[in-house]
């Protein structure tokens, strides 16, 4: 049975993550929103601290240590729960900062999810971004056109990847490519391509609506030769797409956690501004007997709580070796929708103050949209949930 209280052993982690968010992330949030593409140097000290926590076994707050727990008869809260709880606190400070943290990229989560022990040792200290999306391939990751052709002890990769988070700053990129287009999704594998590899080039950085502290790159691969040992997990095509897709079972709750943290920040700021305007939110009174703004706020809180519980459940299931593909998509879908609707409603409730730069509400509204898009859009998550609930394959339900 899942316990809804935060495990005591993660108390120090949550406090440290919140302190970093309050003292490093949020105070510099507006600065790097304006100075897009400039690396937040303030992160270096925190990243070093996080490396020490991870190496000592205390667990960190980034994405890099997420890994499915081996089967156990004991109920446990492990790496997945710690990462989710840490991400919630850090994104209360700033989502773009979390996405800019060295050695804590979404590619690190992919490595941790599917790499073998030798690869974990070799790539564990790299900062890895993840390259999935292509100009003609967005939500349908099974339609990837980037190719990886075996050539002796290497693979030769050709293709273009867009919207690569931390694509310029990271040490390596986890690239999704197909070994054989004729075999469809079964032939898609992921490869670690380290920066400086001939044939790999960052060709452009995107200007974005939100998360401007984080760089978002377009990367071109032209006859890029990568050792076969850099193919993550099992190279056997008979293993199919499942191994690659397992990455999402861990990263989707992580993105949902980012949304939970950002939404909580917006709720807290809105509560403060409503109180200053004389609007009292009374938890002992029915919503329909309160000020309209208070009633709206109560509804936003309820939606937030539902998304929060779904996210914790998905992480808990991963830590306890329970299949969580359905729950991971439910959490991502709910949290992504909640954070976009909630932050816009908070801007609306706070009027001119919410729309201006007097607070971070307008920035949070801009930052929130990406959390409903990357790691699988809202629509794709709903489709995955429908397939799981109805027992339909991707071919049967499109």
Looking only at Cα atoms, what is the longest distance across the chain? 73
Residue whose pair of structure tokens reads 């690190």 in the numeric block = 108
113 closest CA partner among 54, 165, 72, 65 = 65
- Is residue 184 left, alpha or beta, with left meaning phi > 0 and alpha meaning psi from -120 to 50? left
3-state secondary structure (DSSP) of residue 268: helix
Residue whose pair of structure tokens reads 């056109």 in the numeric block = 145
Q: How many C-beta neighbours within 10 Å does residue 45 have?
A: 11
Verify whether residue 375 is a known catalytic residue: yes
Continuous H helices in 115-218: 117-123
Residue 295 token pair: 């009633």
User: CB–CB of 271/297 below 8 Å?
Assistant: yes
- Active-site option among 134, 269, 362, 375: 375
145 closest CA partner among 96, 188, 94 = 188
Q: Which residues, in sequence order, are CB contacts of 140 under 8 Å at separation 6+?
A: none
Give the chain's length.
Answer: 398
Which positions are annotated as active-site residues? Answer: 375
């Amino acid at each position: 049975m899942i316990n809804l209280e935060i495990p005591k052993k993660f108390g120090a982690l949550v406090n440290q993550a919140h302190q970093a968010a309050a003292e490093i992330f949020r105070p510099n949030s507006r600065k790097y929103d304006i100075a897009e593409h400039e690396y937040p140097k303030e992160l270096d000290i925190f990243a070093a601290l996080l490396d020490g926590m991870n190496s000592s076994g205390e667990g960190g707050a980034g994405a890099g240590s997420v890994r499915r727990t081996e089967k156990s008869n004991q109920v446990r809260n492990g790496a997945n729960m710690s990462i989710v709880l840490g991400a919630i606190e850090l994104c209360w400070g700033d989502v773009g900062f979390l996405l800019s943290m060295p050695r804590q990229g979404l590619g690190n989560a992919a490595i941790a999810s599917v790499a073998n022990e030798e690869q974990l040792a070799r790539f564990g200290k790299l900062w890895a971004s993840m390259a999935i999306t292509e100009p003609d391939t967005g939500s349908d990751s099974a339609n990837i056109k980037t190719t990886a052709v075996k050539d002796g002890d290497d693979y030769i990769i050709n293709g273009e990847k867009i919207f690569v988070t931390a694509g310029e700053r990271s040490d390596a990129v986890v690239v999704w490519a197909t070994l054989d287009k004729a075999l469809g999704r079964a032939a898609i594998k992921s490869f670690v391509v380290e920066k400086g590899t001939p044939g790999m080039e960052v060709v452009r950085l995107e200007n974005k609506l939100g998360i401007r502290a984080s760089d978002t790159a377009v990367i071109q691969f032209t006859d890029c030769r990568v050792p076969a040992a850099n193919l993550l997990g099992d190279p056997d095509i008979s293993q199919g797409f499942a191994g690659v897709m397992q990455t999402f079972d861990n990263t989707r709750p992580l993105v949902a956690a980012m949304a939970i943290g950002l939404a909580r920040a917006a709720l807290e700021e809105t509560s403060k501004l409503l109180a200053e305007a004389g609007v009292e939110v009374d938890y002992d009174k029915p919503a329909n007997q309160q000020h309209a703004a208070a009633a709206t706020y109560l509804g936003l809180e309820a939606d937030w709580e539902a998304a929060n519980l779904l996210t914790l459940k998905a992480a808990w299931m991963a830590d306890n070796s329970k299949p969580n593909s359905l729950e991971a998509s439910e959490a991502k879908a709910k949290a992504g929708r909640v954070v976009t609707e909630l932050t816009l409603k908070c801007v609306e409730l706070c009027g001119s103050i919410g729309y201006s730069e007097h607070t971070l509400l307008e920035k949070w509204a801009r930052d929130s949209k990406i959390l409903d898009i990357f790691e699988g859009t809202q629509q794709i998550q709903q489709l995955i949930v429908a397939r799981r609930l109805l027992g339909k394959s991707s071919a049967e339900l499109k």
